[in-house]
Amino acid sequence: MAVLASRMPWQQIEASVSHLLSRKGRTGVAMPDLDLFGEQVQRIRGPSNAGRPRIPLRVMISLLYLKHAFNESDEGVVARWADTPRWQFFSGCAYYEDRQPCDASTLIKFRQLLGEEGVEELLAQTIHVAVDLKLIKAQELSRVIVDTTVQPKAVAHPTDSRLLETARSKLVEAAKQAGIGLKQTFAREGKQLARQAGRYAHARQFKRMRRVIKRQRTIAGRLQREIERKASAIAAAARQALDETLGKARRIAAQSGQRKAIDGSKLYAWHAPEVECINKGKARQPYEFGVKAGIASTFKGNLIVGARTFAGNPYDGHTLHEQLEQASILMQDCQIRPATAFVDLGYRGVEKDNPGVDIRHRGKARQLSKAERKQLKRRQAIEPVIGHLKSDHGLDRCHLKGQTGDAMHAVLCAAGYNIQWLLRMIAKKSIAFLWRLYWRLCQSLPPAPHCTPSRWKLIDRTSSSRSESLAWA
């Protein structure tokens, strides 16, 4: 980590994202520094009302790297930073400081300021560092493996009973905020019906369960109609928020009464309407609730060169063009573009949409040479990469809000994976260097006078094998 901290282009990273953090003009707020007419107002030294000073940019960027490299939460990464001198050195601290770098909520605001453009710059810099340190050849970036997976959202498993109870409570809450008095809130009956539906479903008594869900739908409809009758007397500003709540409740009530939505879209979470139901063909988990994410890694080395999300659950082949375009943008400083893409059969028939890119999959086995068919066997090397992204870097559960949060989370997980990849490769390269140095020292030493040349060769081989095992240990 000390080597990586000294080789990361921190000044370049800060310069590339600094424009996203600059002060922006607001309507009705004077900004003397940007006034081009007249003299600027001279400030008198004294107590400032601007708040506490800004946290160093390198510290905030390194916290995002460390959070996803070691799969920590916002609260966990700031707490662990205070107890880990290696993390503080990586963040640019010259001495150990027994304090937290910032509040956990500061990371939320920093991510919002960076946006998708800023986090993609963080991912691009990890690729450049790998090339600059010669941990991977620049030519390897031209061959990529592309695949899609599901990035699950941090939502409870959607059931009709749970969604209807959520709609009832949200309607009551919205009516209270708008100053609308309800005849009855059905609070006690709603909780009781939610418990009964779960018990009937567990006992596989589906006729009773559907009867309970029908009663919950009736309650939600009664509250919705009462609020609509009394909403004409409230202000327009409060009516806008109320209309959104009524629209969500109407969607939940409509979809609970039929197996499939009429327009093909269902609401699976009240606080995350962008969540989609995606089937990836897994036996243990047939359906996942989140967003489709595309991952692109190098053909050899398993370095991630692209990660993005695709709203609307599109066909895999229709995501290839955007995936390769993002990889080209991230690798543009290396002056490399993806020329060959190894994919699965879900990407068939998209050659016209990707001119200049050689797309290889099992459906083209007869058109490929023997060497190319052998290379095609490495297509499944991206599967463990996706597995590590989910288990070790947080891709298995996204807590960020909205479609922008989904896109940022996928890129940050890929950046954390690349940081761990850099740490492993630096350690591997240093072990190989020490082993070569030790071998040269052994060869430079003269043999012992009491040993014959054949005896010296035997001792040399024995010592080398022992040193090799100690080095790897």
- Asked if the model's pLDDT at residue 119 lies above 60, the reply is yes
pLDDT tens, 137-170?
999 999 999 999 999 999 999 999 999 999 999 9
- pLDDT score at 303: 96
pLDDT tens, 287-313?
999 999 999 999 999 999 999 999 999
- pLDDT score at 387: 94
- Asked if the model's pLDDT at residue 54 lies above 60, the reply is yes
d(CA 152, CA 154): 7
pLDDT mean over 423-439: 81
Query: Residue 4, Cβ neighbours under 10 Å: how many?
Result: 17
pLDDT classification of 38: cutoffs 50, 70, 90: very low
Query: Higher model confidence: residue 297 or residue 261?
Result: 297
Sign of the alpha-carbon dihedral angle for 28, 33, 36, 42: positive
- pLDDT score at 151: 95
pLDDT mean over 24-28: 61
Least-confidence region, from 38-47, 97-106, 360-369, 377-386: 38-47
**CA torsion 105→109→112→118, rounded to 10°?**
-100
Widest Cα–Cα separation across the chain = 107
pLDDT mean over 357-368: 89
pLDDT mean over 257-265: 65
pTM of the predicted model, to two decimals?
A: 0.85
Domains by residue range for the chain, with CATH: 129-155+274-422 (3.30.420), 160-256 (no CATH)
pLDDT classification of 415: cutoffs 50, 70, 90: very high
pLDDT mean over 215-241: 88
Q: Which residues pair with 294 in a beta bridge?
A: 148, 308
Q: Say what percent of the chain tops pLDDT 90.
A: 67
pLDDT mean over 35-41: 47
- Asked if the model's pLDDT at residue 453 lies above 80, the reply is no
- Asked if the model's pLDDT at residue 452 lies above 70, the reply is no
pLDDT mean over 228-251: 86
- Which 3-state string (H, E, C) describes 139-188? HHHHEEEEEEEEEEECCCCCCHHHHHHHHHHHHHHHHHHCCCCCCCCCHH
Mutual angle of helices 187-202 and 160-177, in 10-degree steps: 170
- Asked if the model's pLDDT at residue 459 lies above 60, the reply is no
- Asked if the model's pLDDT at residue 37 lies above 80, the reply is no
pLDDT, averaged across the chain = 86
Q: Which residues of 22-59 are buried (b: 16+ CB within 10 A; e: fewer)?
A: eeeeeeeeeeeeeeeeeeeeeeeeeeeeeeeeeeebbb
Per-residue DSSP letter, 33? G
- Asked if the model's pLDDT at residue 340 lies above 70, the reply is yes
- pLDDT score at 311: 92
d(CA 435, CA 471): 7
- Asked if the model's pLDDT at residue 319 lies above 70, the reply is yes
User: What 3-state class would DSSP assign to 295?
Assistant: strand
The token pair that represents 471 in the structure block: 């080095």
d(CA 450, CA 294): 65
DSSP3 helix / strand / coil % (the chain, rounded to 5): 60, 10, 35
pLDDT tens, 89-117?
999 999 999 999 999 999 999 999 999 99
- pLDDT score at 39: 45
- pLDDT score at 24: 65
Task: Tell how strand 143-152 and strand 287-298 pair up.
Answer: antiparallel
- pLDDT score at 33: 53
- pLDDT score at 30: 57
pLDDT classification of 460: cutoffs 50, 70, 90: very low
Residue 21, φ and ψ in degrees, nearest 5: -105, 5
User: What 3-state class would DSSP assign to 425?
Assistant: helix
